[in-house]
């Protein structure tokens, strides 16, 4: 199978992903093998490719927002059959036995494994997954539109939930890439008023198109404060900007897997009055299932920019430059 392989982490400008032929993987007894049609790009992929995250495995095929069709099954699989359209997300395994798993927080499992980090991911013509960690996908969405839901959508959904925003309240979104442009659709469905803080002109236009009540830059101050805010951009300084527009008792949720240093916080001016800051770590299968159900109900319509697998380095570079409108997706079938 053809795959984009990372042998050594390097800056994306050096094009570290190499198109190469790899052996077709055989599914384990509880795994299914997908013939991949699409894989959305994520900032976590950039962190992996550039070495910002410790890598437990090299060489490695990144990619963890995978859509494909089941083409082979292990002998102990029951949920899916050949020809089923299935999605693979970031979480690919949890132990099921630890205290975190027991309380429904499998995203915090110490023995968790992740797609495109601990095992080869979706920048390839085929991918493996335990069938317990795969998802049937709702009809009505193309493969390209479904792919970003599997991380950008799921993490956005979890961040929205952990922000504790109530129906009809005001929500601030800092950064307006793949995840935020899905979250605004979720928030609007709840009747929330959404304020978007982003510097990119195209991102500002998209935010207005999707119903933002106010659009500006991070340093701007809207006419009213927000009851909750979600930060998608990996810039620690945005925490101060978010706190500055946050109402008493509100929450700032940090949705990224990595972030630059958070500056010193003026406790009395920015954090006092029971304001909260909380990180969002990975997501559970329940998050994914609930998000995919909502995707059909609302319905969610991700905006996508599609690239052939042969241009995966260029697509990730464009993602790093905040040059993508909506979500970037690698088309694997056309490779």
Question: Per-domain residue ranges for the chain?
Answer: 2-151+296-331, 154-279
E strand or H helix at 2: strand 2-6
What is the average per-residue pLDDT within 230-254? Answer: 97
Q: Which of 161, 151, 144, 121 shows the shortest CA–CA distance to 292?
A: 151
Q: Which tens digits make up the pLDDT trace of 251-271?
A: 999 998 889 999 999 999 999
pTM to 2 decimal places: 0.95
Instruction: Calculate the CA 108 to chain-centre distance.
Output: 16
What would the 3-class secondary structure string for 127-159 be? EEEEHHHEEECCCCCCHHHHHHHHCHHHHHHHH
Tokens describing residue 152: 């950008």
Neighbours of 6 (CB within 10 A): 24
Residue 334 has what pLDDT?
65
**What are the C-alpha distances in Å from 166 to residues 68, 181, 214, 228, 268?**
35, 19, 19, 9, 26
What is the average per-residue pLDDT within 221-237? Answer: 96
In the predicted model, is pLDDT for residue 48 greater than 80?
yes
What is the average per-residue pLDDT within 202-209? Answer: 96
2-151+296-331 against 154-279: fold identical: no
Tokens describing residue 113: 């494994």
Instruction: For domain 154-279, give the fold.
Output: Rossmann fold (3.40.50)
In the predicted model, is pLDDT for residue 335 greater than 70?
no
Strand, helix or coil for residue 302: coil
**What are the C-alpha distances in Å from 327 to residues 65, 236, 319?**
11, 23, 9
Pairing of strands 66-73, 85-88: antiparallel
Q: Which tens digits make up the pLDDT trace of 147-188?
A: 999 999 999 999 999 999 999 999 999 999 999 999 999 999
What is the average per-residue pLDDT within 237-257? Answer: 97
Query: What superfamily in CATH does domain 2-151+296-331 come from?
Result: Medium-chain alcohol dehydrogenases, catalytic domain (3.90.180.10)
């Amino acid at each position: 199978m053809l795959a984009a392989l990372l042998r050594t982490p390097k800056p994306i400008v050096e094009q570290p992903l190499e198109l190469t032929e790899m052996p077709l993987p055989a599914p384990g007894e509880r795994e299914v093998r997908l013939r991949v049609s699409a894989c959305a790009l994520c900032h976590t992929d950039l962190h992996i490719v550039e070495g910002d995250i410790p890598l437990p495995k090299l060489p490695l095929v990144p990619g963890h927002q995978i859509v494909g069709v089941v083409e082979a099954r292990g002998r102990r699989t029951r949920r899916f059959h050949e020809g089923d359209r299935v999605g693979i997300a970031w979480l690919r395994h949890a132990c099921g036995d630890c205290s975190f798993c027991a309380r429904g927080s499998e995203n915090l499992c110490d023995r968790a494994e992740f797609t495109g980090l601990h095992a080869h991911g979706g920048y390839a013509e085929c991918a493996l997954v335990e069938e317990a960690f795969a998802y049937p996908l709702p009809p009505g969405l193309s493969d390209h539109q479904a792919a970003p839901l599997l991380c950008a959508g799921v993490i956005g959904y979890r961040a929205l939930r952990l922000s504790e925003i109530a129906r009809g309240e005001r929500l601030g979104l800092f950064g307006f890439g793949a995840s935020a442009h899905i979250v605004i659709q979720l928030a609007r469905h709840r009747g929330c008023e959404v304020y978007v803080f982003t510097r990119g002109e195209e991102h500002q236009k998209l935010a207005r198109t999707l119903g933002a009540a106010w659009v500006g830059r991070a340093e701007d101050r809207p006419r009213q404060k927000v009851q909750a805010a979600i930060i998608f951009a990996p810039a620690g300084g945005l925490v101060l900007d978010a706190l500055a527009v946050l109402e008493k008792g509100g929450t700032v949720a940090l949705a990224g897997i990595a972030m630059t240093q958070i500056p010193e916080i003026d406790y009395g001016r920015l954090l006092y009055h029971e304001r909260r800051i909380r990180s969002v770590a990975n997501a559970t299968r329940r998050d994914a299932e609930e998000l995919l159900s909502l995707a059909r109900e609302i319905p969610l319509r991700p905006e996508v920019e599609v690239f052939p697998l042969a241009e995966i380095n260029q697509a990730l570079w464009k993602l790093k430059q905040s040059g993508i409108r909506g979500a970037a997706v690698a088309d694997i079938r056309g490779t």
